[in-house]
Amino acid sequence: MTKDKITEFYNKRKKVYNFILTPGSLYQLVFDLIGQKEKVLDVGCANGNFSQELKKKGAAVYGIEVSPEMAKNSAKVLDEVIVGNIETIKLPWRKAHFDTILLMDILEHLFSPKDVLFNLKPFLKEKGKVIVTIPNVANWEVRKELLFGRFDSEKTAILEEGHIRFFTYDTAKKMFGQAGYKIKSFNLVINYPLLLLKIHNRFGFLKIDVFLKKYCAKLFAYQFIFELVKK
């Protein structure tokens, strides 16, 4: 995909990138990992909706966005936004500048995600962190489709057309290690088969979500949340 095609693709998706800051949601789990008054780099900041919430924590938020249209919106609320592709752009900031670097549903859109992780590392403070959220291609829903010979983006957003890389827990962990990071903390968002969802909703005291996260994470995780630090 050429530079112009990439820009065109994300310009058309500017209405897609909303978020839900509710208990247990992906965005809430990430939000809770970020402290007060941190200096944050939001890679793929889209319209700036999530970063705007971080600003309420007193954070200084800088953004990188490939879509000029979305960058124009996010520039209204972030401290600084630059337009460009994270795989090719030269970053203007000094080394060890950020407490947190956010890569929320970004790596699966890149041709060389390991290189991006490696190249971002110098901009991270010594005790800083990188927060990565990434879809789990080994999710039960994808496995079910593959069982019937289907690899269909209409069945699950994990396979959506903008995704060019796919990760399991193990392949993601291996990539982080190769890029010079270790996992400080790990969490996940579950998507339930209908039967388990009914059990979860009706019999909350069974804490089925706790069981699935502990014993079946690689199967029922829809998205992984990794907090990474330098090795």
CATH number of the domain within which 42 lies: 3.40.50.150
- Report the mean per-residue pLDDT for the chain: 88
In the predicted model, is pLDDT for residue 126 greater than 90?
Answer: yes
Q: Range of 157's domain?
A: 3-230
Confidence of residue 161 (pLDDT cuts 50, 70, 90): confident
When divided into structural domains, the chain yields a total of 1
Q: Which residues neighbour 3 within 8 Å (Cβ) at sequence distance 6 or greater?
A: 85, 88
Evaluate if residue 204 carries a pLDDT over 90.
no
Order across the sheet with 221-230: list the strands.
80-83, 60-65, 39-43, 98-104, 124-135, 221-230, 181-190
pTM here is 0.88
For the packed helices 113-120 and 169-178, what is the interaxial angle rounded to 10 degrees? 40
**pLDDT exceeds cutoff 60 at 177:** yes
Give 14-26 pLDDT, tens digit per residue.
Answer: 555 555 667 778 9
Angle subtended at Cα 192 by Cα 224 and Cα 156, rounded to the nearest 5 degrees: 70
- Predicted confidence at residue 159, as pLDDT, reads 84
> Is a pLDDT exceeding 90 seen at residue 140?
yes
